[in-house]
Structures are given as structure tokens and as C-alpha cells.
Structure 1
Amino acid sequence: MKKVQIGIIGAGRIGRIHADNLLRMPGVEVSIVADLFANEELQDWADARGIAQVTKNSDDVINNPEVDAIFICSLTDSHVPLILAAAKAGKHIFCEKPISMDIHQTKAAMEAADAAGVKLQVGFNRRFDHNFKRVRDYLEQGQLGDPHIIKITSRDPNPPQEHYIEKSGGLFMDMAIHDFDMARYLSGSDVVEVFARGTVLVDPVFGKYGDVDTAITTLTFANGAIGVIDNSRQAVYGYDQRVEVFGSKGSVTANNDYPNTTEISTAEGIYRDKPLHFFLERYQEAYVEEVRMFVDSIRTGSKPPVDGNDGFQAELIALAAKLSVKLGKPVRIADALQLAGEVTV
């Protein structure tokens, strides 16, 4: 069986994680990596993994006739031009989230991939977490009946640095977008209305850039279910990632992952370890599974498990949430694009 040849654009932390996960898979070869800041250190990293070529020019990846699929792990503002070029070259595409900060550009990228007949998968890795996947399985099997309430808690252990906050796109587009995708995934339904409240409680630097660090978002789904998401940029006890789905036949909860399951009880109290502290620990296996399923979709010709429309819908919800905070009222998804042209967010 011919190996699936992969090229990677963007060799920062996430690009290297994807490369290492891909290289452990049978029948897959990472043959070229591009990064604007490629240097001797990157060359040494690539040599240690048997990656044949390192370049500073993304066109070398896109125009390489041996490459079947491209992983876009570069800065967000480069995603759409790279998707358009990769689609034109007939390459399958895995793109980190979000596709872009501009919903119109995202739509254009999605349509370009569809028109070219190439696969486009968006990096919403939490769908592949073993806990959340089990929740979805219960729903699909009908064990919970019709979903009524979706609750998602998503809190980071530490706020990002100022230079990141400035260009992040804000809490809803940068952080909560994972939760918006998870809400659609768990409910099995699109969102029709968003009502969000946000404030600055962690660090005034968020307000400096018109952002918030603490938020509650209420979602109304097309199937009638209701969703509640709470986000914070700082949970002092660790990375807090929990979901609950309440349905007509029962409920299911997925709690945090911990370094171990031991618990000690003494006269002074009951103690256990804090949750896993970093997203790379919490979602380590999810990163592996998402790229495995992307490669499988190339081999089998099946639809990617998280496609361009999933990325587009999550960005629409994020846009509606930002508008809702700005306007102080619920925003219907159908009205978000028009309102975005009238209100600066």
C-alpha cells in the first residue's frame, strides 16, 4: 500500500505534535516541513525524524507532486490563503482552528475545498477525547433520549501572555470556539440563537484589547435543546474540562482527567490530585486520534469527521457571542452576518 505523504506548514508546537503523531502511524510519511523561521534547530529536529526536506517557503509544500495532504499549523491569518492554494493544487487539507477571523473568508475557503473535491478537516481535537466521545456514543445509542440541556465547563489553568491576547481574536473565537463545536457535536443540532455575557475578572490586560476573560454563553439549538457554557481564562486548580448532557431518559457527565485516581482520607480532610494542568496532557490521545481519522478519510474516501462546515458553524457562534456581549441581547445565528456589518466587535 502506497504511503500517504504529508507536508506540514508551520513547525511550531502544534505542527511538531502533529508530525510526531503522524510519524508513529503505519503507512504515513511526513516528507516536507515549511516554516518561515526555519533554522538549524528545526533542521536537526527534522533530521532526527527522517523528514527529508525543510524549507522556509510554503509553496514548496503546496507544489510538491508527492504530497497528498497538507497540515496547516501556521498563524491564523495565513490559513485561508494556504487553504485556497492547497485546494487549487488538489491537496487534502488539515487546518488548525479557527480557519480564519473573518467569517466571509472562512466561507470562501470552505467552498474552495468543496469545489476542488479535496478533504478539509478542522482541528477541533476535543471531539476525539475518550470522555466526550463516550458521551456522544450514549446519545447516538438513544440511552439518554432527546437532549434537553447541554452544560460545558471550560477553564484554562493560566491566562495567555499579552502578546497572544492582542492577536487572539478574543475569548470567544480563540478559546470558547472549541466549546461551541463541542456543543454542536453533543447536541447533534445546529445553534439558532446565542446569548452571552462576558467580563474582565482575571487580568485588566484583557480589557485593554476589548476582550473578556470570564463568560457565560447560553445557546438555543434547532432541536429545542438549551446549552450553557462557562469559560474562564484562569482556574487556579488546573485545566477544568467537563460536560454534562441531560436528556429525556437520563443524564451523563464527563469529569476531568487526573494524573491518577487515588484519594486519601484523613482526620484533616479528603485529598486527591488536581486535574491535568495543560491541554497537551489532557488531550494527548485526542490529538493522535484526530490525525488518524483524517488519514483514514484519505485512504477510504470517506468524509472527514470534522469538516469545513463544522469550522464555519463554530465561528458563526463565536461571532454571535461577541455581538451578544456588545449589544447586551440575544443574537440569532441567521442575523449574525448582517449585524457584523453594522456593529464593530
Structure 2
Amino acid sequence: MAMQIGKLVTDWYAAHGRHMPWREGQDPYRIWVSEVIMQQTRIEQGEGYFYRFVDRFPDLASLAAAEQDEVLKYWEGLGYYSRARNLHAAARQLVETHGGQFPSHHEALLTLKGVGPYTARAIASFAFGQQVGVLDGNVLRVMSRLLNDFSPVNRPQTRRKFQHLIDGWVAGQDSRSFNYGMMDIGATICTPTQPGCLICPLEAVCQGRKAGSVQLLPQKDQKLKRKVRYFNFYLILNEKGEVAIRQRPTDGFWGGLWEIPNEETKRKAWEKKESEGGGRFLFELKHVFTHFDMMINTFMLSAGAAPAFEEVQFISTDKIAIFAFSKAVLNIFENAWQNMD
């Protein structure tokens, strides 16, 4: 069974696999960068960021030598900025302690900053041909249906079980072709809705297809209700028309990015558009994080009337592009300038 699945997948990939720039060659650096970018990012969106990032930082040495602010600037708009900070830290770690070379085994790769089981196995398989299975969301869906397994795929024990199985399936196969093939089958055929079972290379061995339960799988435990947090953001302008900005601490959301002064508030005050800092209310925005929703009220006020915020500096608006901001703050700037036109 395992050998049959492995051959079906690798044969299909040879004929139908997707072309992607990071699949050309086996450069562990480009593979690593691509895998980190594509976490929480659609391929269509991420491909442009990949080209932009590796054009500026073409290798480990250039990334390690860069300042964190510049790395964050090239990550701007992708979100989940801890990924960029960890990339930068791991690049320096590799240069300082590994002679600028990637370890070839997935367990050694796990010692790098920000590299988890998925990324470690992806680099080990795609760059070094190590025979380990790579589990992403697409592969979990394929396996759930293939095995007719109703275990919730967001449970650690299910992932451990599937990891053990896929490690057996890849044995004896070309690791890159098998893992890329499983991902591509999930992305293009065994899709969340309206899967193309009739053209799937695994149809003949798919237990979910035989049981008629493909549309019911995969199963997931229900997530807890999302938390909502409320913030007032202040667009503070001085007499020169310069805007106040400050840099966030490296921990927490938007770590290391620049922002405009803000403060968290209570829902009732937020809904009344009340602000301790005063100022003229401009608009509200919503920004979605992985674990909570941020509701933003934006106020404009002059520097003389603004409350005291620590470590603020004023910059001219034409300098905004130099600094790395979150997408939420960039949206505030865009909406504010439109309101002022």
C-alpha cells in the first residue's frame, strides 16, 4: 500500500507538478525563504514577495549582514512579522555557528531560530533529498480523505499519526517529487470544496472515495470564539506637517515595526468614538490577526494638543516609505491622506 501510494504520487508529479521558482534547483536558502513566506500567504501573493526578497538578500551572507529594520521593510505587507525577525536571526545563527551552511538533517535544522517541524522537513526533503514526509494543510486534507480518517487534523496526536504514515510512504521514493506531489494534489485536485476525484491519481486507493465521505473530511475541532480588542490610533501632525511615529518593541504583535502612537481602550468608549487623547475622529478600521481582531478608531490632532507618548519622532510624509509599517498603519495613512485631499 505504502509503495503503491508513493509511486502513484511521484509518477503524477512528473507529469503534472506545478512550476514554481523556488523548485528550480535545490538551493536550501531559496527553499527556506519560500517556505517561510508561503506560511499564511497565498502563492499568488507570495511569489512577488519572494522575488523581491531574494533579489535584495540573495544568500545567507547578505541576509545576515542586513539590519533588522531593512529586513522588516522588505517583509512589509506580508504580515506575521515574527517570520521575518526569525529569518534574520536564523541567518546570523547559520553564519556564526554553522559556517554559513545549512544542516542537511531535519533534526539539526530544528535548532535554528523559528524553524519548526514543517519547515525543517521541507528543507531536508526539497534541498537535501532526505526521505521524510512533509505535512502542510493540503497534505493533511489528502491523507484524511485517503485514509477515511475522521480524527480532527488540528489535534497534535493526529499530526503525529499522519507524520509516521507519510514517512513510510516516502521511503524508497524521490523525496522531493513525492512531497511536492502530495502538496500539489491537495492544492489542485483534492481541494477543500468540489474535489476532482475523477482525475485524482489516488482515486483507486482512496478509502474516503469508496466510503462516500470525501466531502465530510477533514474534520477539525471547533476553534474558540475570537477575541476582539479595541484601539485608538493617533495621527499627530506638527506645524511642519510632519507625522509622529515610534518603533514597537521586538516582542508582541508587529514586533520591531514602526507605528503611529496608539493605546488600547474599552469597547464602550471605542463605540462612542471617545478618546483620552482628544482630536478629530477620522474613521474606523478592522485588522485581523491570527488569534484576535483589532478594531481601530483613528483620530487626528496637532502635536501641541497631543498627549505625551514615549520615544516619538516626527518625519515628513515623503519619508514614510523608508520605514517598515504594518498593513494596518499603511491603511491608516492611505485613508487619512484621502480624507485630507
| Larger helix percent | 2
| Larger strand percent | 1
Q: Give the structure with higher Rg (CA).
A: 2
The answer to whether TM tops 0.5 is no
TM-score by length of 2: 0.23
